[in-house]
Amino acid sequence: MPELPNGLSWNRLSQEITGNVRVGLAAGEAIALFDKPAPAKPRLGWNAALVLLGATLVFGIAFWSSLPPQQAEHLLASLKRIRTERIGTVIHSTAAAPEEAVVEASSAGIQVKENGRTLSLMQPRSDGATVSISMQGSAGVRFVDADTGQVTTNKVYYAEQ
């Protein structure tokens, strides 16, 4: 083992080492302030959603108020007619005038309503149904019976007299 030099002042050496350690710690704290990343700001978040909601609301009010009354009534009646709980199931039937005929089709069946009377063709429990509607006054439902596997097609046509 090598020998230590004569006259080595352990107190002075201890003070220098302690000073160097303190300088190093202070420098590390000073640099740490510069190295911290800035907190991430939300890019768009709720602000964009609120702006989009407001713009949609303004557009909707402007569109609805600029429609002529006859077109607004027709649009509202059309929206009520196609509103569904799930595809093919009518939640709310339209309130047609007494002289009008209404043909409705859903996965549960077909209905024709006219003059306060209703004709309904109901399907048994089915794995799937295909509903077709024509704007000329016809509606059809094709379904596969879950018990027998048979395919049944119901089609109703309405023609004015």
Per-residue model confidence (pLDDT) at position 55: 96
Domain membership of residue 128 as a residue range: 87-161
- Band the pLDDT of 18: cuts 50, 70, 90: very high
Domain identity same for 141 and 121: yes
Per DSSP (E only), the strands in 11-115 are 84-86, 89-90, 102-106, 109-114
Out of 82, 109, 133, a domain closes at 82
pTM: 0.35
Over residues 93-152, the pLDDT tens digits come to 455 455 677 888 877 778 888 888 888 888 776 667 788 887 777 888 888 877 787 888
Does residue 59 carry a pLDDT above 80? yes
* Helices and strands of the chain, counted as H and E runs: 3, 8
The confidence score (pLDDT) of residue 45 equals 73
Examine the domain organization and report whether 97 and 155 are in the same domain. Answer: yes
Residues 152 and 102 placed together within one structural domain of the fold: yes
Task: Identify the residue whose tokens are 């005929």.
Answer: 101
The pLDDT-based confidence of 78 (bands split at 50, 70, 90) is confident
The count of domains in the chain is: 2
Alpha carbons 42 and 89: distance in angstroms, whole number: 42
What distance in Å separates the CA atoms of residue 72 and residue 151, rounded to the nearest whole number? 41
53 — pLDDT class (breaks 50, 70, 90): very high
Query: Is residue 95 located within the same domain as residue 132?
Result: yes
Work out the average pLDDT over 48-64: 91
Q: What is the CA radius of gyration of the chain?
A: 40
Specify whether 91 is located in the same domain as 161.
Answer: yes
User: What residue type is 115 in one-letter code?
Assistant: N
Residues 6+ away with beta carbon under 8 Å from 115 = 98, 99
Are residues 104 and 77 part of one domain? no
- How would residue 92 be classed by pLDDT, with cut points 50, 70 and 90? very low
